[in-house]
Structure 1
């Protein structure tokens, strides 16, 4: 708008032109070519195409020059749409769209499937909080359906609380984040490892070689449910590995299975300039190899002590427990130059809770109820790359980037052997 043009206000007459029908190339250009004859200004445009059907909306100023009238514009637009076997609706009004209310959020909904009933429940819950749904668009259609609602009129925290309660009852995953530039900022993502980045419990894999898997698994399960102090349980489990030949590390590394979508998540985040790391109650003997394999920026875990080629049954160095994970998140954020408000933490166990609550966005991934209830949001499908949708990244964008990098379409999702979750592992929790 030039300095000589008056600023649009609520008193300026406007027309909302809606075009709908079978999509084909040239419709958008044709509409604005038709409108150009009336010297109108374009205030807003929205267009969506679903299954070959287009809905195109243009908010324009009413014609005020060269003797053109609103009636002539209406007749011309209707004549043009009829020639293309389209339909048109033209609504008179004043000013721009109704201003969006204060308090703006992005609400991401994941469903497998996403039913009409659950969508209705989410929409009704948004309305009940005083929020208004301004826009909706699809982020992904597989392996889950993901849609995003742009909501205004209610602050993020009460909206998140209301939708978390609703989501728990209808079986969908809902994430609520505040709108703003920070959502697009280069950020830091820190993940738990066992049963988050990978499908396995590493200490149980070591225990299997030591012949004490059942005893270790029971202690692990109790710790992840929050029934045992993590550090105490760690020492108890590691003690059972005393005397095990350290050469077993290579066997365990070879048997590690990445969680479906792990490669895609890390690869996509790195493309966007994110820094990515892991903090684990497991062991550096495995996380160091994962850091190299995936090109991670940060990695921290406990270290199994080795003497004369055998495990001693002890750990050395700083213990990575519940408090330690949050402490490491802060450390990595400082090293990355990223404020905590722009960090994302992903985990599944009780020892991840401090980390999840310290991060700007804490994501409980296939977690136990105590973790799901305390985290900002929960994802309960066995695909780690669905976290991308919570950040507003669409499936199409991911696939296009993979294609440009020479990866086959559906590379990881359909072809890679670690895409399929192990039987019985979809809902497990970890260290």
Structure 2
């Protein structure tokens, strides 16, 4: 029997008050002469207020321990409570999950709904940490006792009703390892659709936009719709591709996402139903390791209205993800796919984690989780990375980040 299994007779010591240096040290020093063992220890700091909880084995002399604690916290200007404990937090070993909640704003009513649903599932919130307070509010909840897949299904309903984003991931080692992130390009990595921008130059903007929207909703076969749209580009001067590339706007947070995760050894790839003449340049600009897309046929400096080579369609995106993972030596379970359209569905399903980013309803319903905020770097919060860590790493590398708004 381990010491933790035998620790049914324990004391829970809770110290609260204004934070200052040395609180934890003073409290533990007061316990040092009582012959107790530390079973668990947690500390939370919020707006300068500290809550320190220490679970210890029962002392030989409880009154003496209490006197020493009272003296320590009185000097610190804090308060202490001592009550009978209940052993270790064994619930943490059952069905553990990370639940990330993102809102702009994140209302108390929304958090109440999420916490209530977790409780309804038999789950316990063991720990809460703020991941970001601007430009969105993001909180991470460590939950035990609720089966992650079931929890994900139920919380998705609450998230939609409350107008927030909620992601549920099993707590395992994958979150801490090097991963491969594969992103769609149009309306995911960048704003808008490249083929629509090209069509504007050719005089068919409205017609192509209508076909694109129907294809992304899954109403049209992707390859057939793509070839029909490309035909409308026949005769367009190839210089229009340079004009379109110059007008591309990368989605907010995209560069931060890539920059931050590259520092941690992550690998990136983009897979697009768009065109390699654009995606190859994007990959080089952003520091993305792999890229795959369709290729516009160009003859004598003009688009022919045809594609060169095989089409990267819905199935082709999933194939690319698997091939990139194998090439880079990353297990499929350690891949993350991000997309918004129906042609991303197979890729999202093939990945270890599929994220629908500002996606059509058919994609949101099928993906593991959905993000509907306009900041691509919000994905970092799903990986357990805080805004403070991002800014500290940027500052160390010489990047200037804007000052946060006042709370």
Corresponding residue for residue 41 of structure 1: 37
Q: Name the CA shift for 1:130/1:95 in 2 (closer, same or farther; >3 Å).
A: closer
CA RMSD of aligned residues (A): 1.7
Corresponding residue for residue 191 of structure 1: 183
Corresponding residue for residue 240 of structure 2: 248
Residues 101 and 154 of structure 1 are in contact (CA less than 8 Å); yes or no, is this contact kept in structure 2?
no
Q: Distance in 1 between matches of 2:150 and 2:120?
A: 11
Q: Does 1:406 align with 2:402?
A: no
Q: Does 1:130 align with 2:122?
A: yes
Task: Count matched residues.
Answer: 405
Q: Given the alignment, which residue of 23, 33, 38 partners 2:19?
A: 23
Deviation of 1:41 (Å) = 2.0
Q: Distance in 2 between matches of 1:177 and 1:351?
A: 24
Residues 279 and 301 of structure 1 are in contact (CA less than 8 Å); yes or no, is this contact kept in structure 2?
yes
Corresponding residue for residue 54 of structure 1: 50
> SS where residue 89 of structure 2 aligns?
coil
Corresponding residue for residue 234 of structure 1: 226
Cα deviation 1:64-88 (Å, max 9, x = unaligned):
3xxxx11111122112212322110
Corresponding residue for residue 359 of structure 1: 351
Q: Distance in 2 between matches of 1:350 and 1:99?
A: 39
Task: With the length of structure 1 as denominator, give the TM-score of the two structures.
Answer: 0.91
Cα deviation 1:171-228 (Å, max 9, x = unaligned):
1101111111111111100000001000121011111111111111111111111111
Q: Name the CA shift for 1:129/1:40 in 2 (closer, same or farther; >3 Å).
A: same
Cα deviation 1:332-362 (Å, max 9, x = unaligned):
1111111211110001111111111111111
Q: Distance in 2 between matches of 1:122 and 1:143?
A: 21
Corresponding residue for residue 98 of structure 2: 106
Q: Distance in 2 between matches of 1:282 and 1:184?
A: 32
Q: Distance in 2 between matches of 1:79 and 1:155?
A: 44
Residues 10 and 96 of structure 1 are in contact (CA less than 8 Å); yes or no, is this contact kept in structure 2?
no
Residues 194 and 282 of structure 1 are in contact (CA less than 8 Å); yes or no, is this contact kept in structure 2?
yes
Q: Distance in 1 between matches of 2:57 and 2:309?
A: 69
Uncovered stretches (5+) of structure 2, i.e. residues with no partner = none
> SS where residue 100 of structure 1 aligns?
helix
Uncovered stretches (5+) of structure 1, i.e. residues with no partner = 415-431
Deviation of 1:94 (Å) = 5.3
